[in-house]
Structure 1
Amino acid sequence: MKKILIFAIGLFLSMGTVVAQVKVNRGYGNPSSEAARKSSTKSHGAALAVKYGVKAGVNFSNMSNDMTFDPSFSIGTGFHVGALMNLHWGQRTASSLPGTGLWGLQPEILFANHAIKSGGGDIKLNYIKVPVMLKVYPLSALSVEVGPEFSYLISSSPESMKVDGATVKVGDCKGFNFGAGVGASYEFGFGLMVGARYSMNFTELGKNLKWKNNSNVQITVGWLF
């Protein structure tokens, strides 16, 4: 599983080199002049706009439990920060700039801290995440997105805790997790991006610990360059 995560991160980094030759000056709406439009179309016939960005925000996370005892889980607040690459294909109309069409793809690499409240205290899970979001643009700046999330749980705390009379070694929870996300975002013409995403993990945290960190709401602000 580690190899899958490493491959996903490597793919994210290598895509920047592959698509660098088609990077364009992206905007929403028509160019300021006919000459600029013709120049853009002639130089970038692939109609692909590529932008890089950074993002950060807050996470609201919860957990499901398939054990016999009741941990009394409830929503906790964490954070995320990371980088992304935004690829946007096509043109809205024949005179639109490249990167205003219907389809896009957005791979990301994030550090995410998920906090979950429980009857035994707060649980904190730190992940390296690689979401790969397929984006559909009903408007040139507004997108809805869906895609897989590959993540690796790098640390968890506290080391152990008592919940409903049972001792749980939370600190032993590390490893690969697979999930999916769905959300929406809006990209302003001057670079600001805002968005919201719901994601869930399908993988149990431990071999003998049937907990899933499967309810995460992400509120994000970012900047596209």
Structure 2
Amino acid sequence: MTTDLTVVVTVHSETLVCGPTMESAEQAVAAARAAGHTVERIIALDNPTEGTSAYFDQHVFDDWERRVMHEGDPGRIRNAIVPQTAGRFVAFLDGDDLFSENWLAAGVTLLKAAEAEGSRVIAHPELNVIFDGGTQLNHNISQDSPLFTPHFLYVRNCYDTLCLTPREAHLEVPYGRRDIANGISREDWQFGVETMARGWRHLIVPDTIIFKRRRDFSMMVESSGRGALLRSLPEMAIDRIRDLTRQGR
């Protein structure tokens, strides 16, 4: 039987902070199953610390597949785990972030409808709420909205990496290599640009939220501190960007 969705929780050095994360994931998975979707659950331990390995060795997580990997980078761990998944769609969750309970159910429903219509769609929550080490609310807009223009992509990343994506999209457009020391990062920004250029539409799932914990130190914080930039992409050329959302169709 085909599996609809694979949920992958990625962890490295997190321990107790994962308690709320895993509870939110369990509730979202239960809601997705109640809506009729089949779900595979994976915990990807990427170069885990001793404390992280011990935390996830608890019996409470026995219903999750636990896979130890050695990528050392959020983009590379996602690239490596996707070929090992069984779901038609993939949802990632970082070990210290949270899903709204309806995110998976509503997101998979939207992607199934798009698939039935022959549309290539990547789903995003309506809101990203930043908490803990910083407070911020980002209201996402669909690529098809009259408020959206690809020129926004010169100044900001419109779509966070915690999206709900057809497995095919990740295989077609793997995350780019980051090089923070030399000022190159923003692999989720790059993923958004490159998938748009290949005909994937980024749409919002109404009334859904992903809560993102801002820690004192993380790769995102380090990238911002170093002023890391988006890699130069041909799709962003000044004479091409206006057609970005029409490419690949």
Question: Do the two structures share a fold, i.e. TM-score over 0.5?
Answer: no
Higher relative contact order (CA 8 A, sep 6+): 2
Tell me which protein shows more helix as a share of its residues: 2
Per the normalisation by structure 2, the TM-score is: 0.20
Tell me which protein shows more strand as a share of its residues: 1
